Homo-oligomer: A and B are copies of this chain.
């Protein structure tokens, strides 16, 4: 099917979806000491946006979020969590949707379902950066990882949505570091050093932590398992490697 007919098919699928409800996924990865988020760029539209989607009439919103994540990343069985509903009347996603469709050469009638007002449920996911092979769909030019700290301004309220997701992550990490540690497992390689883990925490919290106390704290949580010595070619004492213990 050509992109053009795919799009046409999509635009005729009004009855597939629950009206006025959408969802946006903030998909976090970690690489090169940077917290990354998966963003896509629509054809002929300049700014970046979150991957999002709609809810089938016969699926729960959690299932819909899992499906969107799978469609975008190919990943299954990923921890996904709803964190907020964005329902400002000024969201103007209808203008945004009109723009990305018209950039493809289509004209939409004023009451087309795709350019109505949507209330959007925000979900975030923590995924393994290396497992994701981003591949753009028929609406988008590209889908890629961007550093959360330095990403360009996003379309609509998507910048706010990313910030809220980050806030949620921070709260989780401050109030329930053990729970976070487990869910954060995909963000790190199978085994990692304490310094790796600390960099992840520092990136999310956006603050420096005292190395020695961080180590003490992490070990006291009993969620890490010491593996071996790292011996790779660094000119210092070789650090221990750790992995997350299996659940419970």
Residues of A within 8 A of B (CB): 18-21, 55, 57-63, 82, 84-85, 87-90, 117, 119, 121, 171, 175
Contacts and interface: CB of A to CB of B under 8 A. Distances in A.
Nearest to A118: B18
Nearest to A84: B82
Contacts of A90: 60
Given A85-B82, A85-B85, A87-B55, A18 B119 contact: yes
Copies of this chain, count: 2
A90 B61 CA distance: 11
Contacts of A62: 87-88
18 contacts: A18-B19, A18-B20, A18-B117, A19-B19, A19-B20, A20-B21, A21-B119, A55-B87, A55-B119, A57-B117, A60-B87, A60-B89, A82-B84, A82-B85, A85-B85, A85-B121, A87-B121, A119-B121
A171 B171 CA distance: 11
Given A19-B19, A20-B19, A60 B85 contact: no
Residue with the greatest number of chain B CB neighbours at <10 A, chosen from A18, A19, A62: A18
The 10 closest A-B pairs by CB, nearest first: A61-B87, A19-B19, A18-B20, A60-B89, A60-B88, A175-B175, A19-B20, A85-B121, A60-B87, A85-B85
A82 B58 CA distance: 25
Contacts of A89: 58-60, 63
A36 to B, nearest CB: 26
A60 B57 CA distance: 23
Contacts of A88: 60, 62
Given A18-B19, A19-B20, A20-B20, 9 more contacts: A20-B21, A55-B119, A60-B87, A60-B89, A60-B90, A61-B85, A61-B119, A62-B87, A82-B85
